[in-house]
């Protein structure tokens, strides 16, 4: 029963949008890292450093988005449980 409530909260429109944004961000980071594999011989070290930095920043943004998503869902779940008990 609790899993179903959490699933409903995760699939709310706002939270679903956050999930999609997080997936796009981590997808871009992975794409940059994979492109670095193929460009290692052709690109300068400055370009590779910038690409590595961008992938790192995207990974940090992903972690922040997922943290916000989990916080929003757990906060809604806890406050909903408190309201039902009163």
**This prediction's pTM:** 0.85
- Show the tokens assigned to 26: 């981590």
The pLDDT value recorded for residue 31 is 97
pLDDT tens-digit map of 48-75: 999 999 999 999 999 999 999 999 999 9
Q: Which long-range contacts (CB under 8 A, 24 or more apart) does 13-18 make?
A: 14/72, 15/69, 15/72, 15/73, 18/65, 18/68, 18/69, 18/72
Q: Give the pLDDT band of residue 80 (cuts 50, 70, 90).
A: confident
Per-residue confidence band for 85, with pLDDT thresholds at 50, 70 and 90: low
């Amino acid at each position: 029963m609790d899993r179903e409530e959490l699933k409903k909260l995760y699939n709310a429109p706002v939270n679903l949008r956050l999930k999609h944004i997080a997936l796009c961000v981590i997808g871009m980071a992975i794409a940059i890292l994979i492109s670095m594999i193929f460009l290692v011989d052709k690109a300068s070290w400055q370009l590779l450093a910038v690409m590595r930095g961008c992938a790192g920043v995207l990974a940090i943004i992903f972690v922040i988005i997922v943290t916000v998503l989990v916080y929003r869902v757990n906060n809604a779940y806890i406050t909903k449980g408190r309201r039902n008990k009163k």
